[in-house]
Amino acid sequence: MLTIYSDDHRLHRGRVELNDGKLQPCYECPERADVILETIKRSAPGDIIAPLEFGLRPVRAVHKPRYIEFLRQAWDLWAAEGRSCDALPLNWAVRGMRQIEPDHIDGKLSYFSFDAGTPITAGTWSAATTAANVALTGAAKILEGERGAFALCRPPGHHAAADYFGGYCFLNNAAVATQYLLDNDAARVAILDIDYHHGNGTQSIFYDRSNVLFVSIHADPLQEYPYFLGHSDEQGRGDGKGYNLNLPLRRRCGVNEWFGALDTGLQRISDYAPDCAVVSLGVDTYIDDPISQACLESSDYLSVGARIAQLGLPVLFVLEGGYAVNDVGINVVNVLTGFTDVRRRAR
Ligand code: 6XA
Ligand code: ZN
């Protein structure tokens, strides 16, 4: 399996996130990608290549201009206030308040975000644009005929919407890659999001569209972050009606239930008959993940990859969550290995 990777992910290293009522070290840390890369080098054959530079055009195809401008400037505006700590928002516009972009950086952080767990640092913009380029390079390789590619990118992306950040995500790498596939020859793309958390950003970006099928397996938003999107009755809107499938599961559900949802999602994708699939690959479904209440063991990820391979489609895997740093490498590699083993046998 081809892997796309850049060291530039290290430019984003948040110091603190608000969690359990405390400012804690960030779970979404550079060591995650380092461990995955080392495990791939050790035990998953295949080339590792650097990303190409795509410029901002494919990012603009998904994210709104004011939001892109905000992300680009946020750290400088924050630092101009004499601050050197991470930039975090403090309040949000809720029911009855107005959505007007403030002039002050503190207000802008609030306006363009939905949580206090996603710090912006000096290198966040560079790391986030590189992550998008990593995913885009994977998409370009799929268009060139590669049957599988892994975008080893961070910060992750699936919570980022057209104009807001949160859940450790700034630019929606999977959505940017998906739109690039559509703009370059693919007529229909299916996104399978198997991260423990609902991909609210990805859902919202493609909610009105029938050329993208979004399928997500995640913890029930009644019980788990991001809480305000991801219910089963969210099925798409307008042309997109019927092209959004949420499969929420109760927290701490068992392995059989999880794989049952995977089979349901894969069947829907198969019926849709897309040109290719993008998998938002979070491994925070792992039993020992520090922020999740999930059930998969490391060996289960082999079956996850194998079942995805049975779609018979070209697949771009894009890294999302997974915070058990010691095991995140083997969990990701097992998905990729399960996938390539089935593909090899099929040839
Ligand atoms: C709240 C939890 C953020 C979840 C991030 C994640 N601090 N999303 O893994 O997939
Ligand atoms: Zn997650």
Per-residue confidence in pLDDT tens, the chain, 347 aa: 999 999 999 999 999 898 899 989 999 999 999 999 999 999 977 999 999 999 999 999 999 999 999 999 999 999 999 999 999 999 999 999 999 999 999 999 999 999 999 999 999 999 999 999 999 999 999 999 999 999 999 999 999 999 999 999 999 999 999 999 999 999 999 999 999 999 999 999 999 999 999 999 999 999 999 999 999 999 999 999 999 999 999 998 999 999 999 999 999 999 999 999 999 999 999 999 999 999 999 999 999 999 999 999 999 999 999 999 999 999 999 999 999 999 888 87
CB 209 within 8 A of CB 186: no
DSSP 66: H
Please tell me the distance from the alpha carbon of residue 224 to that of residue 295, in angstroms, as a whole number: 15
Please tell me the distance from the alpha carbon of residue 300 to that of residue 286, in angstroms, as a whole number: 9
Compute the distance from residue 160 Cα to the ligand 1 centre, in Å.
11
Compute the distance from residue 96 Cα to the ligand 1 centre, in Å.
27
Compute the distance from residue 196 Cα to the ligand 2 centre, in Å.
5
The reply to whether 158 belongs to the active site is: no
pLDDT at site 45:
78
12, 63, 159, 218: the catalytic one is 159
pLDDT at site 343:
86
Compute the distance from residue 126 Cα to the ligand 2 centre, in Å.
22
pLDDT at site 107:
98
Is there an atom of ligand 1 within 6 Å of 284 CB?
yes
Angstrom distances, CA of residue 5 to CA of 49, 128, 195, 304: 6, 13, 20, 22
CB 194 within 8 A of CB 285: yes
Task: Please name the residue that has the structure tokens 């975090």.
Answer: 88
Helix, strand and coil content of the chain, in percent to the nearest 5, comes to: 40, 15, 45
Kindly give the interhelix angle for 325-346 and 300-309, rounded to the nearest 10 degrees: 40
Ligand with smallest separation from the Cα of 19: 1
Rg (CA), the chain: 19
Burial of 104 (0-12, 13-18, 19+ CB in 10 A): exposed
Q: Hey, what are 85's tokens?
A: 């700590």
The number of the ligand 1 atom at minimal distance from the alpha carbon of 320 is 10
pLDDT at site 347:
75
pLDDT at site 204:
98
Total-model pTM = 0.98
Residue nearest to atom 4 of ligand 1 (CA): 167
pLDDT at site 344:
85
pLDDT at site 222:
98
pLDDT at site 18:
86
Is there an atom of ligand 1 within 6 Å of 168 CB?
yes
Angstrom distances, CA of residue 10 to CA of 7, 130, 217: 6, 11, 29
Helical H segments across the chain, by residue range:
30-43, 57-60, 65-79, 105-111, 124-143, 173-183, 200-206, 255-272, 300-309, 325-346
pLDDT at site 44:
78
